Amino acid sequence: MSLPTLLLLPGLMCDHTVWHPLLPSLSARRTCVVVDHGDSDDLQDMALRVLATAPERFALAGHSMGGRVALEVCRLAPSRVSHLALLDTGYLPLASGEAGQEEVRKRQALLVKAREQGVRAMAREWVQGMVHPGRLSDGPLIEAILDMFERKSADIFERQLRALVRRPDATQVLEHLAMPTLVQCGRQDSWANVAQHQALHAQVPGAVLDIIEDAGHMAPMERPEAVSASLLRWLEMAP
């Protein structure tokens, strides 16, 4: 008898590498499938791609941009999602005014660096704020992140940035979630901070909030034991 399916959605410029440390424990409970977002430049299009190949019913976990894609899946087909986990992510659209302009400027500067100096050089700058400061000297972790980014092109980076800048407001999606929902965040996530996740958690009836200690934005790679333990508890929740 086959196990129920758990779809794992990676974030910006990420792939199976983010989820790989969790698979030994998660695979004992679920058939785990890591999704590739392809060359899409739209979050809803990414969600449609997920639904096109997914089984009729599945659990869904999204990290960073993948969390936003997961919310679009729930907007389109909530009855197909048995469990939802949102890791180190957000739900609001691009801010108006100066704040939104500053986000776009920072993302554009990284794209310029990726095109002029290469994706790896861009990733080396990006990663400085994406892991716990104490892990910046962890050679194997940092190299795994840089290798992951380098597997994708500057063109893919541009398309995924476009998807994020055009992201929709998912507030109403959160308010209507009826499946067991986990909101999880690294304590030292400086990109999508704890307060942002507390606000997200407050929007979802009955959701569970787990803070992963000593971890930044890349918590699944930084603290896989704690992240997988949290996910296993979530999967045990009755639909």
The CATH number of residue 47's host domain is 3.40.50.1820
- Map tokens 């296993």 to a residue: 232
Mean pLDDT of the chain: 97
Triad 15, 48, 148: Cα angle to 5°: 10
With CA atoms as reference, report the closest residue to 46 among 78, 12, 22, 16: 12
Q: What is the pTM of this model?
A: 0.97
With 80 as the cut, is the pLDDT of residue 1 above it? no
With 70 as the cut, is the pLDDT of residue 93 above it? yes
Q: In the structure encoding, which two tokens stand for residue 3, read together?
A: 């196990």
What's the pLDDT band for 239 if we cut at 50, 70, 90?
Answer: confident
Contact between residue 184 and residue 199 where contact means Cβ atoms under 8 Å apart: no
With CA atoms as reference, report the closest residue to 141 among 24, 29, 223: 223
Q: What is the pLDDT of residues 110-166, one digit of tens each?
A: 999 999 999 999 999 999 999 999 999 999 999 999 999 999 999 999 999 999 999
Interval 204-218 mean pLDDT: 97
Contact between residue 33 and residue 5 where contact means Cβ atoms under 8 Å apart: yes
With 90 as the cut, is the pLDDT of residue 178 above it? yes
Interval 31-42 mean pLDDT: 97
Q: In the structure encoding, which two tokens stand for residue 60, read together?
A: 């869904």
Q: In the structure encoding, which two tokens stand for residue 82, read together?
A: 């048995």
| 132: containing domain | 1-239
> What residues contact 43, with CB distance under 8 A and at least 6 apart?
65, 68, 69, 72, 163, 164, 166, 167, 168
With CA atoms as reference, report the closest residue to 157 among 92, 109, 89: 109
Domains identified in the chain, total number: 1
Give the pLDDT of residue 2. Answer: 82
Q: In the structure encoding, which two tokens stand for residue 143, read together?
A: 């190299």
